[in-house]
A = this chain, B = another copy of it.
């Protein structure tokens, strides 16, 4: 099945927003073995949308349009698609009722233009939207499948994953000779892309099925995407697992997780298993480590306290860092990082304390202590660790690398490998 994705919206075309829907859907479609051959962005212009849609009819079996399903006059996808396909629009009573209920609930009058959102091309199936007033549409017509979805990612993605993907899977199961395309992502932290490529060179050289695509994620971690093609899902899964195991044997603990699991989730799982708690003291990372540690549902079981001590006074008052040490060695130093970690652990009454102090920039660096220099310490009462790191990039990137590295060290500690 050849798929084309058409994103409709002048704001996308003009670059006011970035088209993330296309990438998200393409990834999910690959998982079903459906290849996306073209992605097109076109503005809210009826003539050009009709032209793009007509072209897609010639080169794709599955056409997905996102955007242009709103109630205003510049929302033209529904009408244009129906016109090009020669199908009349019919009112869907179920959605009319939903619209009346919605507008009554929010206490606003329903106006005529809102009812346009309840119009469907004849034969179309309504995909309910529980986060907005624009329903999606799934239409099979002359050997092709058409899917129309609202543009906001918060509405499109749940609708696509919960409603469209199952419908497509059903259709695919009716086809014989199904080639399944399945992916698995191995997430690597603590090794750069080129070092990884060197270590798994033999695996990369003989790759054919599964294929392996390394992707650096903002310099903070590397994702190895394995994609297998096979006759059945079980066979694809086996191919993926064999190849993943081969890579795991080489990279070992540098692989912290798979697929959608972030480093904070991997750390959270280890903390829960060991019933351990943590408290962190942050200077240059400014709260980002705490933010990531608390992004995990259930983090209240391990997260005792986060203490962002930007000023020297706060480091002394809150964490008990020795002011004379700060005066002698500077706030960005080995000893201060360790005292911050100890202070966090004591104040938060936690098993583990982490301290981060560094220079996030863009100003404040010196020849001896340049922007990016960061000390990260980890203590547990019987054990202590501290190391200097030289991060690079913008202020935001240095904050990100500091938080990511702290999570990486914490993971190694929890594995008994720090």
Contacts and interface: CB of A to CB of B under 8 A. Distances in A.
A23 B18 contact: yes
Given A22-B41, A41-B38, A349-B313, A11 B215 contact: yes
A361 B298 CA distance: 9
A26 B11 contact: no
Contacts of A55: 55
Contacts of A291: 286-288, 290-291, 399
A289 interface: yes
Interface residues of A, number: 76
Interface string A67-91: 0000000000000000000000000
A314 interface: yes
Nearest to A300: B310
Given A213-B11, A348-B314, A349-B317, A305 B299 contact: no
Given A19-B22, A291-B291, A395-B297, A14 B30 contact: yes
A396 interface: yes
Contact of A295 (B152, B290, B396): B396
Secondary structure of the A contact surface, majority rule: mixed
Nearest to A108: B194
A41 B289 CA distance: 36
The 6 closest A-B pairs by CB, nearest first: A286-B294, A287-B290, A306-B308, A15-B26, A15-B23, A287-B287
13 contacts: A13-B26, A13-B39, A19-B23, A37-B43, A38-B52, A39-B40, A39-B41, A154-B219, A286-B294, A295-B395, A304-B313, A305-B308, A318-B347
Interface of A: 10-20, 22-28, 30, 36-43, 48, 52, 55, 152, 154, 213, 215-216, 218-219, 225, 282, 286-291, 293-295, 297-300, 303-311, 313-314, 317-318, 347-349, 360-364, 395-396, 399
